[in-house]
Amino acid sequence: MLAYSMGANPLAALSHSAAYYLLRCLAHRRERATEEELDAAASRITEQDFAHGVAKAHKLIARFKGRMPADPALSYLDMGCGQGELTIALAQLGLRKLTAIDFLERSVERARALAARHGLSNRIQFVCADLRWWEPSQRYDVLLSFDAMEHIAEPKAFLERMKSFVAPSGIAVLAFGPLFHSPFGDHMWGFFRVQIPWRGLLFPEKAVLRARREFFRPTDPASRYSEIAGGLNLMRYSEFLAMVEETGWEFEWLAVNTFLERYTLLRRISDVVMRTPRVQDYFGHNVYCILRLRTARP
């Protein structure tokens, strides 16, 4: 796990209790659910789930601006597929050689059921496994990782591990965020009525997670961000750039804060900020990139 430093915290003088009571005033219980309830929900498959995956697939393809390969002849590995909506949508769009992995059994079971419902089981092999120890039976032309990199406990080790999955001339397509140090990087927006930017940096970790237990996930005993279901690794944007370099990958393409694409002025400001050391870590919301091993380039 990456070291986490609160740094200069304007609310550092607040006690845990004072911070908690301030946070609870901003929270709601509309999405409160136990682990048992989440398991039950995972067994219910709806058309809305599939439609969400299709919409997300189209958004990803658009944000990669045609750089994400969609070739039925290529083999794909979806690393951290979650409940499979996106993987299944990609299969419907024409991909035929897909392997998808996640470590949460309820997610994989839901993914299999959704694929079967749409007649796509023959195109996707779903595997419930931990990627740190999983041994593939083949190397893949394209590695996919969507909305996962900020959750992986040891991202540098994961980038290293990815090298054993990719074919010699293959690529890795990554899209992830928000990163923890960005305005909404604590991933806690689901139960707050009022959103405070940089909440994870401004408030003590234990106070935020105490509010999370009360208003969002009452049966999750996590006392650290790394312990919540899915986990948060607190990785900074600058650390990700360094990890890519140190593990032997290189950027074939990189874009940050792609949601600003339609806003020309904000896009230009973001581009300047994201090239500025130190400052960049606090404004890097999402990252879209394509990686290739340096030794694989002619």
258: domain CATH number is 3.40.50.150
Structural domain includes residue 6: no
Domain count, the chain: 2
Structural domain includes residue 20: yes
Same domain as 261, residue 147: yes
Same domain as 104, residue 57: yes
Same domain as 258, residue 177: yes
**Chain center to CA of 126:** 19
Same domain as 138, residue 74: yes
What pLDDT is stored for residue 60 in this prediction?
84
What pLDDT is stored for residue 49 in this prediction?
67
Sign of the C-alpha dihedral computed for residues 144, 146, 150 and 152 taken in this order: negative
Same domain as 142, residue 35: no
**Residue 169, amino acid:** S
Domain limit, last residue, from 196, 214, 230? 230
What pLDDT is stored for residue 44 in this prediction?
73
Same domain as 254, residue 126: yes
Q: Could you list the residue range(s) of the whole structural domain that residue 39 is in?
A: 13-44+186-230
What pLDDT is stored for residue 104 in this prediction?
85
Same domain as 214, residue 282: no
Cβ-Cβ contacts under 8 Å for 61 (sequence gap 6 or more): 68, 70
* N- to C-terminal Cα separation, the chain: 35
pTM for this structure?
0.88
Structural domain includes residue 5: no
Same domain as 122, residue 242: yes
Angle (CA) 243 1 222, round 5°: 145
- What six digits make up the tokens of 118? 């749409």
Choose among 243, 237, 277: nearest CA to 256.
Answer: 237
Angle (CA) 220 222 223, round 5°: 145
Same domain as 39, residue 128: no
Structural domain includes residue 58: yes
Choose among 162, 111, 109: nearest CA to 132.
Answer: 162
Structural domain includes residue 3: no
**Beta-strand relationship, 124-128 and 140-146:** unpaired
Same domain as 181, residue 88: yes
If one counts every other C-beta atom within 10 angstroms of the C-beta of residue 279, the result is: 13
For 88, counting Cβ atoms within 10 Å of its Cβ (0-12 exposed, 13-18 middle, 19+ buried), the class is: buried
DSSP 8-state code for residue 147: S
The tens place of each residue's pLDDT in the chain, 298 residues long, gives 333 333 445 444 467 889 999 999 999 999 999 988 987 877 676 667 667 777 888 888 888 988 999 899 999 999 999 888 889 989 988 899 999 999 888 889 989 988 998 898 999 999 999 988 999 999 999 999 999 899 998 999 999 999 999 999 999 999 999 999 999 999 999 999 999 999 999 999 999 999 999 999 999 999 999 999 888 999 999 999 999 999 999 999 999 999 998 899 999 999 999 999 999 999 999 999 999 999 755 5
Q: Which helix (H) or strand (E) holds 127?
A: strand 124-128
Structural domain includes residue 171: yes
Structural domain includes residue 2: no
What pLDDT is stored for residue 273 in this prediction?
96
In the numeric block, the tokens 């083999």 are attached to 75
Same domain as 168, residue 68: yes
Domain limit, last residue, from 198, 230, 262? 230
The SS3 of residue 99 is strand
Give the CA diameter of the chain: 59
Same domain as 289, residue 236: yes
